Structure 1
Amino acid sequence: MDMREFFHATKVVSGAGSVKNVGQETLALGGKKVLIITDGFLAASPIMEKVTASLKESSIEYIVYDQVRPNPRTTDCDTTAEMAKAEGVDVIIGLGGGSSMDQAKATAALVTNGGKCVDWDYVELKEYMLPVICIPTTSGTGSEVTFVAVITDEERKYKMSVFDPIKLRPSVAIADPELLTSLPPSLTASTGIDALTHAIEAYTCKVSQPITDALALYAIDVISKNIVQAVEDGSNLEVRYNMLMGSLIAGMAFINSNVGAVHAISETVGGWYDTPHGVGNSIFLPYIMEYNIPANPEKFATVARYLGVDPEGKTTEELALAGVEKVKELNAKVKIPKLIELDYIKEENFRAIAERSAENALSQDNARDIDADGYMSVILKAYRGN
C-alpha cells in the first residue's frame, strides 16, 4: 500500500459576523502592520470597511493593494512582495476569491524567501512565509486552507504553483457568510461548481485516501444541495454558510489528495486565454467525469448518490452516468456558459489545448490515464454538447 500524508494546520474561524475577529486574530499572530491584498471592487465595498474597522479597533496599521486580477500574474506577486518589504508589514491578509488569496500566499512566501515568483514553481520553500489570514468572499476555491498558490506566468502562458505543505499554510481562515450575500449569481455559480469539481476530483483521483474521501463526499453532498438556492437567493445566510463550508472542506480534501484532468484542461485555457478558473472547471467537469467512469465505476456511482441521484433500479455504470447528467443539470440550472459560447477559444486551437493539457502534471493523477487524444475527445464533446 502506498504511503499517504494529510496536512492541515490552518485555524478556521467561521460563522456570520466572524470577520469582526480579524483584528484579534492579527494580534494573536504578533501582527502590528498588515498588507491587505484585494481587488478594486472589494476595496471600495462595505466588506473592506468591516475588515479595516476590526484592524483599527485592535490598533493595527494597514496598507492596501487593490489591483488583484483574475488569474494573478507572477509579476503582480513580485510587486506586492516588494511593497510588503518596503512597508515593513508582518502579516498579510488575502481578501477576496482565489486570486486574492493565492496572491497573498505567494507574496508572503516571496517576502521571506526572496527571489522572483517564477523561481518558486514547485520548489520547496527555504523559510516559512509571513503569517497569512485568508478571508474568502466566494465559495469556490478553498484557497483559504490550501498550501498552494496558483499564479499565471504570462511569458510562458502557463499556470505555475508555489507549493509547500509546511511553509505555505495560511495561519487563519475566516469564513463569514455575510461577506457573500452580494456575490453575483454568475460568480456564485462558477465558484460553486469549481468547489464541486475539487471534491469530485479529490475523491476519484488515483491518490485519494480515506481522510480525503470523507471530506470530499461531505462537500459533494452539501454543495449539490445548496448551490441552486445560493444562486437564486444570495441573501440566505444558512445557504451561504453551507456553500462556504463545502468549498473549504473540498479545499482540505483536494490539497491532500489531488485533482486531475478537469484542472489540467482548465489551467491550460486559463493560462492561455485568461478564462476564469471556475468557468473552465464547470464546463469540463461532466465530460471528464464521463471519460473517467471506466477507471472506477463504483466511485463514480458513489459520487452520483452524494449528488442526490436515486440509485433505485440502476446498475453501477448507469448510476455513474446519471451522476454525469446530474452535473450537467446543475450547470444548466445555474447558467454555466457552454464551451461554444467562449468564442475566443477557436476549434483550430483544440489540438494545442489537448496537447498542453496532457503535459500538465495533474494528468498523472487523473482517475483514468489520459493523453492528448483523450483530451481531444473530451474537448469535442464539451464543444458539441453531447
Structure 2
Amino acid sequence: MLEVNNFFHGTRIVEGYGVLNETGNEVKALGFKKVLIVTDDFLSKSAHYQVLKESLEKEEIEYLLETNVKPNPRAEDCDAMAKVAIEEKVDAIIALGGGSAMDQAKAVAAIVTNGKTTVEWGDVELEHSILPLICIPSTAGTGSEVTWCAVITDTARMYKMTVGDPIHMIPTLAICDPTITLDLPQSLTASCGVDALTHCIEAYTVKVHQPITDALALKGISLIAQNLEKAYVNGHDKEARRNMMIASTIGGMSFISSNVGAVHAFAETVGAWFDTPHGVANSLFLPYIMEYNIPACLDRFVDIADALGIERNGMNDQEYAYSAVQYVKDLNRRLNIPKIKEIKGITEDKFDAIAQRSADNVLSNDNAREIHKEDYLELLKKAYKDEGEKENA
C-alpha cells in the first residue's frame, strides 16, 4: 500500500516591509465590515497598532479592541472575548501579537461559530469553520499565523489543551510585516527565535514527516542559523529581521503538517504549571531532547548539522550529529536564554511531577525516540547538572 501524506495549508500570506499598512485594503477586499482586534495592552499602545487602526479607518472598517491577552492564554479569557464578539456581531477577527494573541484569537473565532466553551472544544475536532481570522505576528517564533491549532491553558486542570482542526481552523490571511519586530527586546528575539528553531528541528525529526515538511524545516533551520544572532545583536538589521519572520512562518507550515515531540511536551507542561513563556520553555529543553533522539534518526541530525552551517572537518556521522546539539547549547548561552534553575517555580522536588506530566502529554507519542517518565526525569537532572557545572567552571 502506498504511503499517503497530508499537507495542510490554506492561509494566504502577505509578506514584506510595510504590508501592515495594507490591512484595511485586505479587510475590505475580503468583504468584512466589522472586526474584533485581539492584542495585548502593550501592543495596543504601540505605533504598530496605530498603523493598523488608521488603515481600517481609511477603508471605513468598524472595529473594536480587546486587550486581555496573557502569555499562555487562558480558556476563561477566550470565552469572555467570544461573548463580546457574538454580542457585537463582528464578521472577522484580527490578531495582532505573538503566539498568545493569535492562539487566543483562534479560540475566540472557534467559539463564535461553534458555540459551547473553549474547554469543551479542547482536544476534539470542531464542527464548523471558525469566524474568518487575519493574523498579524509581532514576533518571529510561533508560526501561529499559518497553523490550524491554538494551545490554550485550562487553569482548573493546569493543563494545556489544543483547540484546533486541520479543516475548520485555518487563518484566512497572514500579514507578515517584519517592521513590527524591529522593536523587539533581545530577550524576546532570543526565545522566539529558538522557539522557531525548535519547530523546525522537531518537524524534521518526529515519527511522522514528509518531503514537503522536510524541505520547509531544513530551510527554516538554515535561515535561523544565518540570521538569529544578527537580529539579536542588532535589532534593526532589516534583512535579518525579515529572514527570521520568514523562518518563523516556514516553521509553522512545517510542524503543523508533521508534528512536534518531547520538547513541546515538556514546554506545555511547565507553561501550564509555572506560566513559563513558551519560547523560553522550548529553549530550555531543546538540546537535551536532540541528544536523546539522535540514536533514533542519526541521518536526520546529520542533515540538521549541515543546515545549521556547521563545518564537518572530518567528523564522522555520529560526531557531526552531536555537534548540532553542542551548537544549540552554545547558541542558548550566547543568547542569554534563562537556565532551568532560573525559572520561577521549577525546583528539583517538582522534577518527578514534571516528568510524569510531560510523559502523559500526547506529543510524547510522536517523538522520534520512545520516551517515558524515567527518560524525562533523567534529562531534567542532566540539564540541571550541566547548568551547575557551567556555573562552577
Once the two structures are TM-superposed, the CA of residue 2 in structure 1 deviates from its matched residue by 4.2
Looking at structure 1, the residues matched to 339 and 187 of structure 2 have their Cα atoms a distance apart, in angstroms, of 13
Once the two structures are TM-superposed, the CA of residue 27 in structure 1 deviates from its matched residue by 1.4
Looking at structure 1, the residues matched to 17 and 239 of structure 2 have their Cα atoms a distance apart, in angstroms, of 9
Are the equivalent residues in 2 in contact too, given 1:72–1:151 (CA < 8 A)? yes
Spell out, residue by residue over 1:213-255, the C-alpha distance to the aligned partner (whole angstroms, 9 max, x if none): 0000000000111111111111111111000000000100000
Once the two structures are TM-superposed, the CA of residue 342 in structure 1 deviates from its matched residue by 1.6
The residue type equivalent to 1:306 in the other structure is: A
Looking at structure 2, the residues matched to 324 and 124 of structure 1 have their Cα atoms a distance apart, in angstroms, of 36
Are the equivalent residues in 1 in contact too, given 2:73–2:152 (CA < 8 A)? yes
Looking at structure 2, the residues matched to 343 and 270 of structure 1 have their Cα atoms a distance apart, in angstroms, of 11
Looking at structure 2, the residues matched to 70 and 234 of structure 1 have their Cα atoms a distance apart, in angstroms, of 22
Once the two structures are TM-superposed, the CA of residue 3 in structure 1 deviates from its matched residue by 2.7
Looking at structure 1, the residues matched to 46 and 278 of structure 2 have their Cα atoms a distance apart, in angstroms, of 24
The residue type equivalent to 2:97 in the other structure is: G
The residue type equivalent to 1:179 in the other structure is: I
Looking at structure 1, the residues matched to 377 and 124 of structure 2 have their Cα atoms a distance apart, in angstroms, of 31
Once the two structures are TM-superposed, the CA of residue 124 in structure 1 deviates from its matched residue by 1.5
* Map of 2:348 onto structure 1: 347
1:211-250 → structure 2 map (5 Å cutoff): 211-250=212-251
1:9-24 → structure 2 map (5 Å cutoff): 9-24=10-25
* Map of 1:178 onto structure 2: 179
* Map of 1:283 onto structure 2: 284
Looking at structure 2, the residues matched to 3 and 213 of structure 1 have their Cα atoms a distance apart, in angstroms, of 15
Q: Which runs of 5+ in 1 are unaligned?
A: none
Give the SS at the match of 1:355. helix
Aligned length: 386
* Map of 1:57 onto structure 2: 58
Once the two structures are TM-superposed, the CA of residue 111 in structure 1 deviates from its matched residue by 0.2
Are the equivalent residues in 1 in contact too, given 2:124–2:163 (CA < 8 A)? yes
Spell out, residue by residue over 1:32-79, the C-alpha distance to the aligned partner (whole angstroms, 9 max, x if none): 011000000000010100100110011001000012000000001001
* Map of 2:337 onto structure 1: 336
Give the SS at the match of 1:379. helix
Once the two structures are TM-superposed, the CA of residue 308 in structure 1 deviates from its matched residue by 1.3
Looking at structure 2, the residues matched to 163 and 157 of structure 1 have their Cα atoms a distance apart, in angstroms, of 19
* Map of 2:4 onto structure 1: 3
1:171-210 → structure 2 map (5 Å cutoff): 171-210=172-211
Once the two structures are TM-superposed, the CA of residue 333 in structure 1 deviates from its matched residue by 1.1
* Map of 2:44 onto structure 1: 43
* Map of 1:102 onto structure 2: 103
Are the equivalent residues in 1 in contact too, given 2:198–2:282 (CA < 8 A)? yes
Give aligned-pair identity as a percent: 54
1:26-37 → structure 2 map (5 Å cutoff): 26-37=27-38
Looking at structure 2, the residues matched to 8 and 259 of structure 1 have their Cα atoms a distance apart, in angstroms, of 17
* Map of 1:139 onto structure 2: 140
* Map of 2:391 onto structure 1: none
1:243-282 → structure 2 map (5 Å cutoff): 243-282=244-283
Are the equivalent residues in 2 in contact too, given 1:283–1:338 (CA < 8 A)? yes
The residue type equivalent to 1:287 in the other structure is: Y
* Map of 1:360 onto structure 2: 361
* Map of 1:129 onto structure 2: 130
The residue type equivalent to 1:204 in the other structure is: T
Q: TM-score, normalised by structure 2?
A: 0.97
Looking at structure 2, the residues matched to 200 and 336 of structure 1 have their Cα atoms a distance apart, in angstroms, of 18
Looking at structure 2, the residues matched to 46 and 66 of structure 1 have their Cα atoms a distance apart, in angstroms, of 16
Looking at structure 1, the residues matched to 230 and 335 of structure 2 have their Cα atoms a distance apart, in angstroms, of 9
Once the two structures are TM-superposed, the CA of residue 381 in structure 1 deviates from its matched residue by 1.2
Spell out, residue by residue over 1:323-375, the C-alpha distance to the aligned partner (whole angstroms, 9 max, x if none): 00000111111110111222421101001000110010100110100000111
* Map of 1:152 onto structure 2: 153
Show structure 1 runs of 4+ deviating over 3 A: none
Looking at structure 1, the residues matched to 125 and 366 of structure 2 have their Cα atoms a distance apart, in angstroms, of 21
Looking at structure 1, the residues matched to 378 and 163 of structure 2 have their Cα atoms a distance apart, in angstroms, of 31
Spell out, residue by residue over 1:14-41, the C-alpha distance to the aligned partner (whole angstroms, 9 max, x if none): 0000001111111122210110000000
Looking at structure 1, the residues matched to 127 and 47 of structure 2 have their Cα atoms a distance apart, in angstroms, of 38
